[in-house]
Amino acid sequence: AQSVSQHNHHVILSEAASLELGCNYSYGGTVNLFWYVQYPGQHLQLLLKYFSGDPLVKGIKGFEAEFIKSKFSFNLRKPSVQWSDTAEYFCAVNSNYQLIWGAGTKLIIKP
Amino acid sequence: DSGVTQTPKHLITATGQRVTLRCSPRSGDLSVYWYQQSLDQGLQFLIQYYNGEERAKGNILERFSAQQFPDLHSELNLSSLELGDSALYFCASSLGQGRSVDEQFFGPGTRLTVL
- pLDDT band with cut points at 50, 70 and 90 for residue A75: very high
B100 pLDDT above the threshold of 70: no
Chain B residues whose CB is inside 8 A of the A42 CB are 108
Q: Which residue of A has its CA nearest to B42?
A: A103
- pLDDT band with cut points at 50, 70 and 90 for residue B59: confident
CA distance A33 to B112: 30
Q: Which residue of A has its CA nearest to B46?
A: A98
Name the residue among B48, B106, B107 with its Cβ closest to that of A97.
B48
Chain A residues whose CB is inside 8 A of the B99 CB are 97
Chain B residues whose CB is inside 8 A of the A103 CB are 42-43
The pLDDT tens digits of the residues spanning A94-106 come to: 876 678 889 999 9
The pLDDT tens digits of the residues spanning B9-46 come to: 999 999 999 999 999 999 999 999 999 998 877 888 89
- The percent of residues above 90 in pLDDT, for chain B, comes to 78
Of chain B residues 68-97, which have a CB less than 8 A from chain A? Answer: 90, 92
- pLDDT band with cut points at 50, 70 and 90 for residue A2: confident
- Residue A27's pLDDT is 74
- The percent of residues above 90 in pLDDT, for chain A, comes to 73
- Residue A111's pLDDT is 85
Identify the residue among A42, A99, A106 best suited for mutation to test binding to B, counting B beta carbons within 10 A and taking the highest.
Answer: A99
Name the residue among B2, B55, B100 with its Cβ closest to that of A43.
B2
A103:B108 CB<8 A: no
Q: Where are the beta strands (DSSP E) in chain B?
A: 5-7, 10-13, 19-24, 31-38, 42-50, 53-57, 64-68, 74-78, 87-94, 105-106, 110-114
| Whether the Cβ atoms of residue B89 and residue B21 lie closer than 8 Å to each other | yes
- pLDDT band with cut points at 50, 70 and 90 for residue B74: very high
- pLDDT band with cut points at 50, 70 and 90 for residue B97: low
Higher-confidence residue: B1 or A18?
A18
The pLDDT tens digits of the residues spanning A33-54 come to: 999 999 998 889 999 999 889 9
Compute φ and ψ for B18, nearest 5 degrees. Answer: -125, 140
B42:A104 CB<8 A: yes
Q: How far is A41 from chain B (nearest CA, A)?
A: 9
Over the range B59-84, which residues count as b (16 or more CB within 10 Å of their CB) and which as e? ebeeebebebeeebbbbbebeebeee
